[in-house]
């Protein structure tokens, strides 16, 4: 009987010490040496106990022992998240969008100001509306890209007010012209980004852009082009002081989102 108990003592010690080393990391040589006095104390106490008590103690130790696998999984997830962030920021978007063109207003124009796209991959103008795109249409036709990414409609909210039918007609009219000019190109329409606050823009119709995004989505379905949903892409800290333009930190994430949407 005593030999059996002794074997269990040895098993308990092995389980406890292995769990400590696995949980804390054997290779961490700079850390304070592991204190095994607790395990020794447990062994001595068990010498006076019966088999049932010993088994209960073994189960208790197994339950309380640190989980090395869980710690590795948590560390791995954190590392992967960090690596993904770095990958997004460090991607060569000029090369990725070499055969593509992004068209839009001042939100898209910043892609050139922040030197994230070549001039041949960007057609953008501050304050431009859907009814003033003849020049942009002629330019993109000459470039003849494989992919076209659109960010239009934001400035139109300010002049169509809540006339959704007018917004639909103007947006759809441009899409039809673009498809006729570039029949072989793949077209992707971005949803409009929300406004963080109305203090600078001063127009209550910008308080909710979701009705306009719904119209853009419906037009994409009708015209057989791709709709890129940007919901949740923007964080408050990415906004500029005016509450509707963006800091440079935001643009790699937008470009990455567009690239993923097009499989680039």
Q: How many residues comprise the chain?
A: 264
Q: What is the pLDDT of residues 123-179, one digit of tens each?
A: 999 999 999 999 999 999 999 999 999 999 999 998 898 899 999 999 999 999 999
Q: How far apart are CA 196 and CA 153, in angstroms?
A: 17
How high is the pLDDT of residue 83? 57
- pLDDT 10s digits, 13-33: 444 444 433 444 433 333 444
Rounded distance between C-alpha atoms, residue 97 and residue 245, angstroms: 22
Query: Which pTM does this prediction carry?
Result: 0.69
C-beta of residue 166 within 8 angstroms of C-beta of residue 160: yes
Which residue, among 135, 124, 226, has the nearest Cα to 185 in the 3D structure? 226
Q: What is the DSSP letter of 39?
A: H
Q: How far apart are the first and last CA of the chain?
A: 70
DSSP-assigned beta bridge partners for residue 186: 147
**Tally of CB atoms within 10 A around 185:** 21
Is the sign of the CA dihedral 176, 178, 183, 184 positive or negative? negative
In tens, the pLDDT along 189-248 reads 999 999 998 888 888 899 999 999 999 999 999 999 999 999 989 999 999 999 999 999
The span from the CA of 51 to the CA of 16, in Å, is: 18
């Amino acid at each position: 009987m005593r030999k059996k108990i002794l074997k269990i003592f040895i098993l308990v010690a092995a389980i406890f010490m292995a769990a400590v080393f696995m949980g804390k990391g054997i290779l961490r040589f700079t850390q304070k040496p592991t204190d095994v006095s607790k395990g020794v104390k447990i062994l001595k106490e068990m010498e006076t106990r019966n088999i049932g008590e010993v088994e209960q103690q073994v189960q208790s130790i197994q339950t309380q022992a640190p989980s090395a696998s869980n710690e590795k999984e948590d560390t791995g997830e954190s590392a992967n998240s960090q690596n993904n962030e770095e990958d997004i920021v460090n991607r060569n978007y000029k090369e990725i969008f070499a055969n593509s063109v992004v068209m839009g207003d001042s939100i898209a124009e910043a892609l050139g100001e922040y030197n994230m796209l070549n001039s041949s991959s960007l057609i953008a103008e501050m304050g431009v509306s859907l009814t003033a795109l003849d020049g942009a249409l002629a330019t993109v036709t000459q470039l003849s890209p494989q992919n076209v990414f659109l960010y239009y409609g934001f400035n139109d909210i300010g002049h169509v007010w809540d006339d959704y039918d007018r917004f639909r007609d103007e947006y759809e009219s441009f899409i039809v012209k673009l498809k006729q000019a570039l029949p072989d190109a793949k077209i992707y329409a971005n949803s409009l980004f929300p406004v963080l606050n109305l203090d600078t823009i001063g127009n209550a119709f910008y308080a909710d852009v979701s009705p306009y995004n719904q119209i853009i989505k419906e037009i994409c379905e009708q015209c057989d082009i791709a709709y890129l949903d940007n919901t949740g892409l923007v964080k408050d800290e990415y906004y500029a002081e005016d509450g509707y333009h963006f800091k440079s930190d935001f643009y790699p994430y937008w470009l990455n989102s567009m690239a993923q949407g097009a499989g680039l």
